[in-house]
Every structure is written in structure tokens, then in C-alpha cells.
Chains A and B, each alone.
Chain A
């Protein structure tokens, strides 16, 4: 993100420039749209939410007296009669990370005013997200069939089910909200709202392609959080 050009004003390099930026008037993050800054701060706050969840999980797992279930058995999927550990989860992760890629491209095409490509890529992202949520629903129903409940499970400590459903559920809610917004934005891109600067339905603010980037930030964040959940639940 470059500084809006102010004649004769050169930002100094490195720490000095940062201090100069921070201390100057009007804006602290030069040239950054307020909506983007707002999304970053929200994501920082949301990071604390997920950190609290994951730290609670670590503490809960460390302090429960019963044995923790073995993830590579519990999460295994039968492929052609052979139980393959982490198969489903590998697919889910792959789909989600790919959708992050399509989202990044959508942002690029949006700024290039390439309405069609931007719209299709947002649609692809939304479908990726939807696939992820669908696979998660499948995983949940499989575990529920095997007797895993939030309050008990046949494999070991009851907290396993509690934390698993709570944290993946909370993350899945994030993905679902993202998918809903992706579909809305997809419509708005195709309808040309961002090219015309049409006002939002509720917010009454002029549309701009920066909104696509803002939603993109959220989407990448949701993916990043998944990487941590993946590591802590499936690999530990």
C-alpha cells in the first residue's frame, strides 16, 4: 500500500519513517482505507478469541485425568476399505487453502476493474467455503454416529468431544458467515455496484472494490485460524 502522493513529501525509510507516519496528522496508516484498518483490528480481536479457545483447549487437555483419544484413529476415514488417517481433514484443508488463493486473485481482478473475473473468482471462493462446511458437517455426523457427544465419547476423555465440537463449530460459523458474505459480494460485483459506487442496502455507503479486499482479509484470516486448529486437534 503506497502513500497517497503528497508533493515534495518523502517518507523516510525504516523505523524513522514509521515514527514519522505514526506521529503525523490525519491518519496513522498512510493510504490505508479506514475499512481495511477496521478489519485488521477486528481480526486482531478475533485472534484473541481463537487464542483463548485454543489455550483453554490445551489447558483442558492437559488437566483432564482421563486419556485423550488418539486423533489419527478417531479422525481416520475408510478409503477403499483401508482406514487412512487424516484423509478427510487433508482434503478439507486443501479446499480451504485453495479458496484463499482464488480470493486473492479476485481482489487483484477487482482492482483492475475486471468485473467478470472478479465475480467468478469470488463465486469459486464461496463454493470452496461451502464445500469445506459440507465436509465438516459430514465429519461431525460421522463422529456423532460413532458416539462422540459434547458431554461424552467412547474413545476417552469427555473433553475431547466438548472442545472439538465447540472450536470447530465456532470456526465453521466463521466460514459460514464468510460464505454468506461472499455470495452477497458476488452478486454485487456482477451487478456492477462497485463500478457505479452504488450505495449499500443498509449502510448507505458508496460501494468500492476495496470491500472485496476487506472481505478477502477476513477470508484469509479464517483460513489461517484453520491451520492452527488443524495442527492442535489433528496433529497433536
Chain B
């Protein structure tokens, strides 16, 4: 069946030259003198991609098949949901810090805010932003492809996500309001009377999640296959930027974890609509037995967390990847232990499927299971710590530019280490049980999967904005933005650890006169004030973007002097097709900074070995 390709025009177009059986690796590196074979790269295996160029405004900006436009669409939609999530968190902090000040926030509203804030931030904001936004924009550019392999389905993916967001937002306006069951949606209370939004709210939430999964699957297939099957010549897997590795592994996790979410959503929808009892045990309500009976609520928890834990890494791994690239570029130094970094990403991804029940220590389980899941959880700390050491070793003796991007990266390392260490506390069953329902957990997961990835997102925005918009963001405003956000975020979450230790329970609308509150009141006011300031500080970015678009300095090509392919497009910002007439040919990894003997302090991935024969470039 090898004739599959041979009928396609353009295939093997470049293979007419004489080819020698030599891998490109064997001859990279300096010292051996210039030979014609030195720049050899295996001939093209793939035909030129057959791109469909848009013919109208709608095809160009609305139902667009260009991954870069889709990336921006994903980004903007996700940011919109993120703003909604931010406002909800403000309302919650208003209630917690100053109870009774805003009279319109009832207990029911508070639960709805908690639920919607959690779900929006985790799924619709962070996941969509990293994979849909950065994934779509960066994958084809970084691996040297003209577009995703199946642009039409990629377009559908965004619009499915868009519909999912519309359905989710619609739940704010239906009778009963959005669901208030907590973002984990644990049955049986989720769909029973007494929980806010137990009618329309939960239904729309489940439908929206199902649509999200379907839409994501369409996009995720594109990300995976573009990385696996459509790289440019010379771009081996071990020459890909770590950003691509992070997004790739996260996509694999998503493709295997979202099915559990889809299944649990379908089953709960049936429980709600048809009165099945998948998750519903026999329930007594006001002395009467409900229609439900015989189901297992624990089953839902297993399905949910089989999705939910990999979900943490779906958010974290792209952040790990992106931050590695940013640190390397702005410290002008190759990433320390590239292969180790790749295997750590893959290892964390694989392990993340064996730890889900650490979210369920308090649900009750056989002690041996707790033992097992505590062990796997703590093992994940090993590859994660490796990554942190490697980031620090990359910085060590680097030629560090203390610009906005670097500040966000350093902020990430600090918050991530902080959140990671509290994770070691919570991974142990006996420590987790007393801390489980307290603010300690809130502090932990906001540090590790809220603030830390957010720092990376901000750094990535400042880093790639010149590529997307062709203008440089203002550094001064950027630094104000960073310092207020960083110090403010610490002011919010650091005291929460203490609140957790004194036993303040999470998800409570008000503490009333409980003994916790003697030392908690002032702290809560402080946290809330910080939260308002940090949220408002994000306006620095909005203002910065507006100002830059109006009066900003035009970005030169490759302003950061980076090596990876996205900076070597034919135009800035890149147009449809990315690379002009000829796709780039890759000869090295993207981390050749400050190579001894080289004229500049960076060697682009496209620099051929003969150009750098006099340098001491390492074999990559």
C-alpha cells in the first residue's frame, strides 16, 4: 500500500538529489572541516500542504481555518471566561472579607460563585488558553508546518468550544441560576433540591462540559498529529522546543482523561433527566424515600478525578514547557538537561493517571489504596523537582535579562515551588485528612495550578506579543503589572495556609462567631483587599496592549534573538502558510545560545553546520 503517496503531486519533489545513508546527527558539530555532506538533511517525506486560502471576510476572521487566527480566537474567548471567573472571585472575597457588606450575596449565590469560578478557571480558561490558544498559535510555527494537518476540523474545534462557553454563560440567566454544587459536582446533592441550580443550572453545565470535550477532541487530534506527522525537515522529536513537548504531552493526557469527564457528564445528565440512578443511592428526604436508589456516588468521584487529576497536568505541563523556553531565551543559555526535561514531562504525564484517588482520601477507602495513591503522588515530586532544578541551573551563570518576561518566569518558579511543597503535605493521607477541607487546600491549588500557570501565561504574552501583533509591549507598565500581581498574589494565598492550619473550613459562606475567627477576621479582610488590588492590576496589561497597539514601538523580526522557528517566518506577524515559499530546514535544537566561537550569541535552528563549523557547537 505504499502507493498511497506516490500519486500525489509534489511528493518527493526534493529527493532527486543524491542521497547518502547518513543520519543528520552524525555530522553536525564542528572541527572536521567543511564537506558538502555536512549540511545533509534527509529529503522531504511529505508533499507540500494543500492550503485553502480564505476568500471572504467571514472565512478570514470568523470561520477561519488558519491555526494562528484560531489560536487568537481561542485566546480571546478563554480570556473572556477568565474575566468572568475573576469577577466571581471578587464577589466571593467581598463576602468572605466583609460579610454582610454586599447584601445581595446570599449563601446560595456564594455557592454558585464558588462552583462557576472553579469550573471556568480550570476548564474554560486555563485549558482552553494553553492548548487552544498557545497550542494553535505555536505548534505549526514551532515545528515548521504551514498549518495544522486538518484545518477544517480545527476550525470546528474552536466553534464547538465557543458554543460550550455560550451554554455555560447561559446558565447564569436560567431559572434557578447556575449550579452551586461545587466545581467537583459531587452527586447526590448536585441534582437534588436544596442545591442552588439543581434544575437548569446543572443541566447546562453538563451539556457545556460535554460540548467542550467534543470540541477539544477535534483540536487535540490536530495538535497531536501535527506534531507527530507534519514536522519540517530536520525537526526530530528531540529538537522540538520544550513548549511543543509540554503542549503535546498535555494533549495526550487530555485525549485520555476527558473521556472520563464525558462519561460522567452523560451519566449524570441521565440521572437528572430520565431519573436513572447511576450515582444516586437510596435517599431519605424529610422521612420519605426518593425515587432514586441503588447507585454509587463514589463511582462519580472516581470518574471525575480520573479526569480531574490529569487535568491539573493538562494545565501545568504546557506551562512547564513554555517557561523552559522563556527562561532559556532570556538567560541566553541553553536549557539545562534538555532530554531530562523531556522525559520529566512525559513521566509526569504518565504518572498523573495513577494518582487520582488522592483527591478522595476523605471519601473513605481501603487503607491500602490510600497507601498506594500516596506513594504515586509523592513519586511525581521527583520529575517535578528535576524540572525545578533544571530551570535554576539554566539561570545559573546565564546572561540574564531582567525584563518583564524573565520576572514572570522567576515569579513562576517561586510560586510553583511554594505550591509544590504544600502538595507534599497534602499527598500524605494522615496529613491530608485534617487539612482536606480547609483553606490550606485552597492555598495549595491556587498557588500550584492557579498563580503559577498564570505567571507563565503573562510571561508568554509579553514574550510572544511582538510576534502576534508586531509591536513591543511597554516594559515599564509590564514591570508594574508583574510586581503588583506577584506580591499581591502572595498576599492572598500565603495567609490562607495559616487559615488552613487553624482549621478554617473552605467553601463556607460565612464563619459567624466560630472560634477560628478571633484571628481570622483581620486576615480575611487583608486577603480580600489584596484580591481586589490584584484583579484590578490586570488592567495594566489591558492598558499596555491598547497603548502599544496605538503608539507602541514596531517590533523588529526576532526581537528577543531567539532560535526557534516561530521567529523566522517570512513576515512578522506571520501570514497564512507561515514560512513563505520554502519551509525551513532544521539543523539543531533551539537552545544554542552563547556558543563559544559564534559571532552572535545565538544560532537559529536553521543555521547549517557548515555556517558554524568554526564554533564549538555541541552535537544535538
Contacts and interface: CB of A to CB of B under 8 A. Distances in A.
Interface of A: 1-10, 22-35, 37-38, 41-42, 44-46, 48-49, 51-53, 56, 59-60, 63-66, 111, 150-151, 157-159, 161-163, 166, 170, 202-206, 208, 210
A166 B228 contact: no
Minimum-distance CB pairs A-B, first 6: A48-B259, A8-B21, A162-B276, A52-B263, A49-B259, A64-B294
Contacts of B230: 26-27, 34
B228 A37 contact: yes
Contacts of B263: 49, 52-53, 56
A34 B262 CA distance: 26
B259 A150 contact: no
Contacts of A163: 278
B2 A26 contact: no
A24 B42 contact: yes
B599 interface: no
Contacts of B30: none
Interface stretch (B114-122, B169-177, B267-275): B267-275
B46 A26 contact: yes
Interface in B1-29: 1-5, 8, 11-12, 15, 18-21, 23-24
Interface in B145-163: 149-150, 152-153
Contacts of A49: 259, 262-263
5 contacts: A4-B12, A6-B43, A27-B229, A34-B150, A46-B259
Nearest to A108: B1
Contacts of A8: 19-21
Contacts of A41: 221, 224-225, 255
B276 A26 contact: no
B217 A6 contact: no
Contacts of A205: 50, 52, 152
B383 to A, nearest CB: 20
A31 B5 contact: yes
A11 to B, nearest CB: 11
A152 B28 CA distance: 70
A210 B46 CA distance: 15
A159 B278 CA distance: 7
A211 to B, nearest CB: 11
A162 B43 contact: no
A210 to B, nearest CB: 6
A59 B264 CA distance: 13
Nearest to B296: A63
Nearest to A210: B4
A134 to B, nearest CB: 24
Nearest to B226: A34
A203 B222 CA distance: 14
A25 B46 contact: no
Given A48-B260, A52-B263, A151 B15 contact: no
Interface in B449-491: none
Interface in B203-227: 217, 220-222, 224-225
Contact of B255 (A22, A45, A64, A206): A45
Interface stretch (B99-107, B233-241, B498-506, B546-554): B233-241
A66 B294 CA distance: 7
B423 interface: no
A30 B232 CA distance: 14
A7 B275 CA distance: 64
Contacts of A30: 45
A44 to B, nearest CB: 7
B84 interface: no
B402 interface: no
B173 to A, nearest CB: 30
Nearest to A53: B263
Nearest to B302: A59
Interface of B: 1-5, 8, 11-12, 15, 18-21, 23-24, 41-46, 50, 52, 149-150, 152-153, 217, 220-222, 224-225, 228-239, 255-256, 258-260, 262-264, 266-267, 270, 274-278, 291, 293-296, 299, 302-303, 306, 586
B303 A56 contact: yes
A106 to B, nearest CB: 14
A166 B278 CA distance: 11
Given A60-B278, A158-B277, A27 B46 contact: yes
A63 B229 CA distance: 45
A7 B15 contact: yes
A25 B278 contact: no
Given A7-B15, A202-B152, A162 B277 contact: yes
A102 to B, nearest CB: 19
A27 B277 contact: no
Given A4-B5, A23-B238, A53-B263, A150 B274 contact: yes
B260 A159 contact: no
B233 A26 contact: yes
Nearest to B293: A158
Contacts of A37: 225, 228-229
B21 A31 contact: no
A158 B276 contact: yes
Q: Which among B52, B220, B236, B259 has the greatest number of chain A C-beta atoms within 10 A?
A: B259
Contact of A26 (B21, B235, B267, B277): B235
Given A27-B231, A29-B229, A65-B294, 11 more contacts: A4-B12, A9-B21, A25-B586, A27-B45, A28-B228, A31-B45, A60-B278, A159-B276, A159-B295, A166-B276, A203-B152
A35 B45 contact: no
A166 B266 contact: yes
B221 to A, nearest CB: 5
Nearest to A48: B259
A25 B277 contact: no
B299 A56 contact: yes
Contacts of B18: 7
A44 B255 contact: yes
Contacts of B8: 208
A215 to B, nearest CB: 15
A208 B5 CA distance: 10
Contact of A42 (B1, B23, B217, B291): B217
B60 to A, nearest CB: 14
A203 B65 CA distance: 10
A206 B52 CA distance: 11
Contacts of B228: 27-29, 37
A4 B45 contact: yes
B45 A26 contact: yes
Given A25-B24, A27-B230, A162-B277, A38 B150 contact: yes
A28 B296 contact: no
Nearest to B262: A49
